[in-house]
Structure 1
């Protein structure tokens, strides 16, 4: 990054985009709930109502009579670039840091591959994690985390490969070293980064090594060849202190969906009705079905 990122400048840009309605963001309601020892926060906001789902066209692409198509972040991208202010920075020459158009939090950012033909079904590579570590390091004065939803089964709604950068929830179960493993309803693969400085020149390589090891462990535990390059749906969350891989077997349980933050207990909803559905089915049952039930 030629120019260091500045969090206050990002907030200012975010607010400008919201004011001109280039970004959808609204006040949210938060409800805390615990299910047999697993803590959850449900965030409810209408800002995600217009968010495209997997397979949906970019806004405007669905009009067969349109003479021009909406601009995206590259010829292979399905992520709309409707305002030049969405682009914040180029990261390490391989990724674009942009403001997400559909936001639950202030701010909510995307880290897109500069190569718009890269796809969300791919595993993360060393450049993805280099860019993620660079952003976390540059904005280190703020509690942020990076997540990745690998493919539609992992909760992704777009095909252009991207990570997300978000304000870090106040409570995530890996934060407590002595957490009760039986309280987590799904299988996960976790590595603490005690000896890794993600801001150091060699830090991202160590994070990538940890990620590839966790991915191999997850595949092997599920009876999949660790060397297989077939699509392996999973979620990833990265903070300075740890990285976690959560294998996924389903995109929904009884119509209920969740992305990486949702698997960690930060669930994003658009209505009170969706929250009631979560309560009716049961959060533990939902998360165990989206992932693989804990042994």
Structure 2
């Protein structure tokens, strides 16, 4: 692709909103502080509409004929991204510019990530920064089985690993591993080089190496079918975070990778009180190990 990715994203978003292909963001939010960390809890009514469109098969349909990423809606398609991926607007975005970077050919979401997956993320992040997200399987919040990663821009209230920085060792070298004292569940932070201005190949290599390191630290190994256990991954602000997952929901509230970036999303306004009652950190710990 030539030119700016963000210009292409904004142009496609404008036309998709005009046609109705893109569902507008509708959110109300509140802030909750927990162990010195600031969390935002958003009630997004469009997520309830997303639930209504789901096919009643856990993890989404296997049949490619029902796969929204194999032949993506042209109204939502930004364009090819390298040899293996295509950039698509998330039909039910959590924020403006919310992208899905999907494999062009079908591959299970639980198949281990490859360097090409990180290269797709690094291409967008080199231009615009932001955060990369991966929901590895239904128990980790994935609604589709076709392998994809997601990207959110840096903006007030969006997911970010930056708030965790104060609790992590400041002088850790690249590929160094750390754990955050406020996170009770199993997890691994790995220092990476990625983000705005970092060459794509450099960032992809750093992210992929960190991913392999985190998998090793957490004992995440493929089974006989070549599939990893459910997990979430977040990458941005100089860190990669991986969290193994034990279940999808806390008290009926689905949790995905974005929640571990300090922004939790609910379908119903009363679910905000469920999170406030126990605190965001306990809610996140409940879906991990």
TM-score range, shorter chain: 0.7 to 0.9
- Aligned partner of 2:139 among 133, 153, 158: 153
Name the SS of the counterpart of 1:24 in structure 2.
coil
For the pair 1:246 / 2:235, whether they are aligned, the reply is no
Could you say what secondary structure the match of 2:29 adopts?
strand
Task: Point out where structure 2 has 5 or more consecutive residues left out of the alignment.
Answer: 169-179
Q: 1:167 & 1:160 partners in 2: Cα distance?
A: 23
Structure whose alpha-carbon radius of gyration is higher: 1
What is the alpha-carbon distance in structure 1 between the residues aligned to residue 155 and residue 118 of structure 2? 20
Gaps spanning 5+ residues in structure 1: where? 63-72
Equivalent residue, structure 1, for 2:88: 98
User: What is the aligned partner in structure 1 of residue 109 from structure 2?
Assistant: 120
Quote the Cα distance in structure 2 between the aligned partners of 1:89 and 1:233: 29
Q: Is the Cα–Cα contact under 8 Å of residues 25 and 92 in structure 2 kept in the other structure?
A: no
Q: Matches of 1:253 and 1:151 in 2, distance apart?
A: 16
5 Å matches for 1:260-279? 260-279=257-276
Relative to the length of structure 1, the TM-score reads: 0.80
Cα distance in 2 for residues equivalent to 1:54 and 1:148? 21
Q: In the alignment, which of 149, 154, 167 is matched to residue 179 of structure 1?
A: 167
Which TM-score applies when normalising by structure 2?
0.82
Between 88-97 and 77-86, the greater mean CA deviation after superposition: 77-86
2:162–2:237 contact (8 Å) kept in structure 1 = no
- Contact kept? 1:76, 1:160, Cα under 8 Å: no
**Would you say the 8 A contact 2:84–2:104 is kept in 1?**
yes
Cross-structure match for 2:37: 38
1:1-295 alignment to 2 at 5 Å?
A: 2-52=1-51, 56=55, 75=65, 77-79=67-69, 83-115=73-105, 117-137=106-126, 139-140=127-128, 143-168=129-154, 170=156, 172-179=160-167, 181-194=180-193, 198-219=198-219, 226=221, 228=223, 229-239=226-236, 241-292=238-289
Structure 1, 127-136 or 2-11: larger mean CA deviation: 2-11
Structure 1 residues 204 and 243: CA distance shift in structure 2, 3 A: same
Deviation, structure 1 residue 230: 4.3
